[in-house]
A and B are shown apart, each in its own frame.
Chain A
């Protein structure tokens, strides 16, 4: 008997090849898509209450998007070969084509939108700052310091258009991650046309929760007052998204239970044993039902501000844990059972290896560090920047 293996496993199923890094990949990508959707609420859907988080959401999306391919690079090894995916793209490989979806989202959507939104500030800061920062801002102006009213109006209009294109692109980005799993017909745990949709909504949930938490945390660190109207509105949207996400996941579950195909007994057994803690306890009860209940309470009862803040913080943290557990259950759960439906294996996470726990923690913290640099470089707080503006903004 092999340790951690029960029943009959094919030899190539005993070791899990997709490690915790592959759990991080959809988790991080989901945060990107979710943060962008939150930003689009203000820009396209004119939800003015969430305006204080607009720029922060965009920068959060960028910080996480830059890190999103790193788990894959570390998992696959040979990052020096990754450019080949672009040079000689294999059009029948869903994973290979994701490179283009990623590139489109990074270069055509997020970077352009951030640049257009910050252009006025960049031009002003290129004139008011000194040293290395001045050079960075000068490069970012692309040599144009035209921030006339008309130029800014054009930026606004183009930015709106980019956000409009960005919404389906954000759906595409994360829906695509779901598609990669959902289209693996050999694995009954993954193979479901609902997978891309579930991934999109869970992405929105995690991204909105992450930006809400970051906003509250940064405001606290800056010793500034939290805009409660903004946080209340975000929490309301988080609640709506969570309801849709949970309904879809339950729909998937009920469908599987009713359909009860040949894999059902095996998967059912797995959920009640190996995945019991991560799926039933962590994902469903702690990470979904508890935050939904907390958010629902804030919608129907009137709590004082301080209580609401705490409830949102707890709900946000639990949401992030729950969505991580969901990614874990999809990626790791899909590899724990045998294709023979007669056996189960165990995932033992390494600690200090290329795909171990420490690397995962580092990859989770890295976007926060990048976000810190981005916030320093491109402050998302317009009032502060305006305070530093010269009396008359130069026009060309």
Chain B
């Protein structure tokens, strides 16, 4: 039995490693959420938690139930595929109770260049302008109707 006696220190080392592994597994059990891995490499309960968040965007279908006039202008223009809240921002509160939350008036001199400022990274056929040369600070809506921006459709709201 002297082999075991003389290799006692190795058993101590093995015991230390085993204790370390068990501690790791114990801490892991405490720290890793129980729903982790339920559906994939993430916390399963996160789905219900995220689903419970308040909705901020109403969706263009909701907007169009009241704003049929805008829908009519928009559907024949270049912005037909641009959703209302892409420019106006999230308006679920306004859709729930139009009187309590009014959308802010947009500044077209700032808003339009977000998409239409000249950039080499944009497709060539995408309408883009160097804003300073093009309008020199005059709001875009003076000439372009934002909901149907081609010249000739009128520079109104």
Contacts and interface: CB of A to CB of B under 8 A. Distances in A.
Interface stretch (A84-92, A280-288, A368-376): A84-92
Contacts of A146: 5-6, 8-9
Given A86-B24, A88-B36, A88-B41, A112 B13 contact: yes
Nearest to A141: B9
Interface residues of B, number: 21
A154 B121 contact: no
Nearest to A119: B9
Interface in A32-86: 83, 86
B17 A107 contact: yes
B135 to A, nearest CB: 25
A87 B33 CA distance: 10
Q: Which of A90, A107, A151 has the most CB of B within 10 A?
A: A151
A112 B20 CA distance: 14
Interface string A265-308: 00000000000000000000000000000000000000000000
B46 interface: no
Contacts of A11: 121
B36 to A, nearest CB: 6
Q: Which of B6, B37, B41 has the most CB of A within 10 A?
A: B6
B117 interface: no
A146 B7 CA distance: 9
Interface in B85-102: none
A132 interface: no
Contacts of A90: 41
A310 interface: no
Nearest to B121: A11
Interface in B7-41: 7-10, 12-13, 16-17, 24, 28, 31-32, 36-37, 41
Contacts of B6: 146, 148, 150-151, 154
Given A119-B9, A144-B9, A154-B6, A87 B17 contact: no
Nearest to A83: B31
B2 interface: yes
Contacts of A10: 121
Contact of B12 (A87, A107, A143): A143
Contact of A151 (B7, B17, B28): B7
A330 interface: no
A48 to B, nearest CB: 26
Nearest to B32: A87
A154 B5 CA distance: 11
Nearest to B28: A87
B12 A144 contact: yes
A115 interface: yes
A158 interface: yes
B18 to A, nearest CB: 12
Q: Which of B9, B16, B37 has the most CB of A within 10 A?
A: B9
Interface string A85-110: 01110100000000000000001000
A10 B2 CA distance: 70
A385 B67 CA distance: 90
Contacts of A87: 28, 31-32
B128 to A, nearest CB: 16
Interface in A1-19: 8, 10-11
A142 interface: yes
A141 B16 CA distance: 12
A371 B28 CA distance: 32
Contacts of B5: 146
Contacts of A88: 32, 36-37, 41
Contacts of A143: 12
Given A148-B6, A150-B2, A154-B6, A115 B13 contact: yes
Given A90-B41, A107-B17, A112-B13, A144 B8 contact: yes
25 contacts: A10-B121, A83-B31, A86-B24, A87-B28, A88-B37, A88-B41, A90-B41, A107-B17, A112-B13, A119-B9, A142-B9, A142-B13, A143-B12, A144-B8, A144-B12, A146-B6, A146-B9, A150-B2, A150-B3, A150-B6, A151-B6, A151-B7, A151-B9, A154-B6, A154-B7
Interface of A: 8, 10-11, 83, 86-88, 90, 107, 112, 115, 119, 141-144, 146, 148, 150-151, 154, 158
Given A112-B13, A141-B9, A144-B9, 16 more contacts: A11-B121, A88-B36, A88-B41, A119-B9, A142-B9, A142-B13, A142-B16, A143-B12, A146-B6, A150-B2, A151-B9, A154-B3, A154-B6, A154-B7, A154-B10, A158-B10
Rank and list the top 6 A-B pairs by shortest CB-CB distance, nearest first. Answer: A144-B9, A151-B6, A142-B12, A150-B6, A87-B28, A154-B7
